[in-house]
């Protein structure tokens, strides 16, 4: 389950997601950094991938268990649905 902490931060059981703002000035999509909640290690970024028209996770050299992978997938799916809802509005 994804919990919104404030306008910049979301969290799950294992991860923090930080909204770092638009991908580039004037962009409609946003960039999110992903960090482990205990170690605070940088794990990668969630960003819009135009070719697939959805948010994707772009990892750095990291190891993930099935729980973290599910949390990342849930976050990507949530942000994709939010972006598509904005585009239709």
DSSP string for residues in 66-78: HHHHHHHHHHHHH
Task: Measure the CA–CA gap between 56 and 48, rounded to whole angstroms.
Answer: 6
pLDDT at position 89 over 80: no
Q: What is the pTM of this model?
A: 0.87
Q: What mean pLDDT comes out for the span 60-77? A: 93
Band of residue 40 on the pLDDT scale cut at 50, 70, 90: very high
């Amino acid at each position: 389950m994804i919990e919104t902490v404030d306008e910049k931060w979301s969290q799950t059981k294992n991860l923090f997601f930080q909204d770092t703002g638009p991908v580039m000035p004037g962009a409609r999509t946003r960039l999110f950094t992903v960090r482990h909640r205990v170690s605070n290690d940088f794990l990668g970024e969630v960003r819009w991938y135009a070719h697939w028209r959805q948010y994707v996770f772009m990892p750095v050299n990291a190891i993930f268990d099935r729980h973290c992978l599910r949390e990342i997938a849930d976050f990507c799916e949530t942000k994709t649905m939010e972006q598509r809802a904005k585009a239709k509005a």
